Amino acid sequence: MGKSIHFTGQPIFNQLLFLIPRSVVKRLARHHNADRYSKTFKSYDHLVTMLFSTFHRCTSLREVITGMQAHSSRLRHLGIKNSPRRSTLSDANRRRPAAFFEDLYHHLYNIHYNTLPDSLKGKKAFERLFIIDSTTISLFSQALHGAGNYNTNGKKKGGIKAHMLVRAKDDIPCFVRLTEGKQNDLKFLPFVNLPRHSIVVMDKAYRNYAQMIRWTESNITWITRINQKAAYRILEKKILSPEQRKSGIKKDLLIELGSLQLKRIHPFQKLRLIIFYDKESKKHYEFLTNDFRSNATTIAGLYKKRWQIELLFKRIKQNFYLHQFLGDSENAIRIQLWCTLIADLLIKIIKDKTDKKRKWSMANLTGLIRLHLSTYINLKAFITNPQKALLNYKETTSPQLKLFIT
């Protein structure tokens, strides 16, 4: 008998859900009392429904429910007995705590990318590099206060801001905090917990001199851009090599940052100021850091890595539909955004575990998975060689598959 070419296992969506341990979902549901107001639509059912909506880019509750009803014969593979009603999903988005989904995201990151160690001493610079930044998503409701000016009618659109700490080598947020769009970026820093000997890069919005002193005391290297109004005194001018000048380094200064008026609030700090000229943008940049050992070119190169987080923001906003939300309440908006981050994390985990030779882009991989979410085909073989996997794939109606479904 010839070898069967049919894959009678699980659809691609279920293979993605295997990355989420059911025990973790149950433990977090108990911790947050997430099933308090639900008799049948439990936390796991809610998670699967929102991930279904996220992957299919649904724009309304009706699209979600009718889409799941169209795949009702395959819902049992997802661990759901029946598709929910629109009112059931709406109530769950309003009542179930968004903190459940928040903790689930961070638990999944720690499971698949390991918890951050206490120290990164001895690692290469790129492995020690962390990036801090935020992105704002505009809303068409006033559930969350957005940034910017009010309209002529005295109202303005709401906005939710995602503050992210990204480890550069993983290219995925290791810590996320969602706030109102109007909240200052500096309020994110007290929640950031970095291992010793790490390197953190951030823009001017996160410049907090008191926090920088604490990082220096904890052997954490930081790089940012100096405020144009900052008061400092030049202590030493370093001699630049021809290679440094050719790379764009204009000045390498040892400075003392601080002023007599603010001495009680912010003590004087001995820091390093590097002036860099970018030939592409034709702009001068002034980098401030507590790193006195690395080459000035290396400092400029590490700050340039900060652009990686901007590409991550672009990836999430382009691959998933964040222009419309399934609910107007703050809790519903937070849940949908957390599920979007979970969906992006699942695809990134699959990509890192299976994509060794082909090197898919996240956009192409997300699009292919979206189109074949309900296809019974081996995900690993599909990612390795999708054309070959799909040519060998035939929709089967064998009794074996029917028995497996029921």
What average pLDDT is seen over the chain? Answer: 85
CA nearest to 101, candidates 336, 321, 320, 319: 336
Whole-number pLDDT of residue 148: 53
How is residue 16 written in tokens? 């993605």
Tell whether the model's pLDDT for residue 307 goes beyond 50. yes
In the block, tokens 């000997």 appear at 197
Among the listed ranges 6-15, 77-86, 338-347, which one has the minimum average pLDDT value? Answer: 6-15
Q: What share of the chain is helix, strand, coil (3-state, %, to 5)?
A: 45, 20, 40
Q: Which amino acid is at 293?
A: R
Higher pLDDT, 229 or 109: 109
What's the token pair of residue 254? 């040892």
Strand 249-257 relative to strand 269-278: parallel, antiparallel, unpaired? antiparallel
| Of the candidates 350, 351, 349, 327, the residue with the CA atom closest to the CA atom of residue 337 | 327
Residue 364 region by backbone torsions, left for phi larger than 0, else alpha for psi between -120 and 50, else beta: alpha
Phi, psi of 393 (to 5 degrees): -85, 135
Residue 143 has pLDDT above 80, yes or no: no
User: Is the pLDDT at 6 greater than 50, yes or no?
Assistant: no
Name the more confident of 390 and 333: 333
Instruction: State residue 377's pLDDT score.
Output: 84
Does 219 or 78 have the greater pLDDT score? 219
Tell me, what's the pLDDT at 306?
92
Given pLDDT bands bounded at 50, 70 and 90, which one contains residue 401? very low
Q: What is the pTM of this model?
A: 0.88
CA atoms within 13 A on the CB side of 183: 18
> Which pLDDT score is estimated for 1?
41
Give the pairing of strands 159-167 and 129-138. Answer: antiparallel
Give 266 or 201, the one with higher predicted confidence: 201
> What tokens were used for 165?
């700490």
Closest CA to 391 of 4, 3, 1, 5: 5
Percent of the chain with pLDDT over 70: 84
- Tens-digit pLDDT profile for residues 191-209: 999 999 999 999 988 888 8
- Is pLDDT at 303 greater than 70 in this prediction? yes
In angstroms, the CA 186 to CA 204 distance is 10
Q: Residue 83 above 70 pLDDT?
A: yes
Report the alpha-carbon distance of residue 177 to residue 200 in Å, rounded: 17
CB 129, CB 305: distance < 8 Å: yes
H or E segment to which residue 134 belongs: strand 129-138
Give mean pLDDT, residues 70-83.
73
Q: Using one digit for the tens of pLDDT, what is the confidence trace for 372-386?
A: 888 888 888 888 877
Inform me whether the pLDDT recorded for 121 exceeds 80. Answer: no
What span, in angstroms and rounded, lies between the C-alpha atoms of 161 and 71?
A: 34
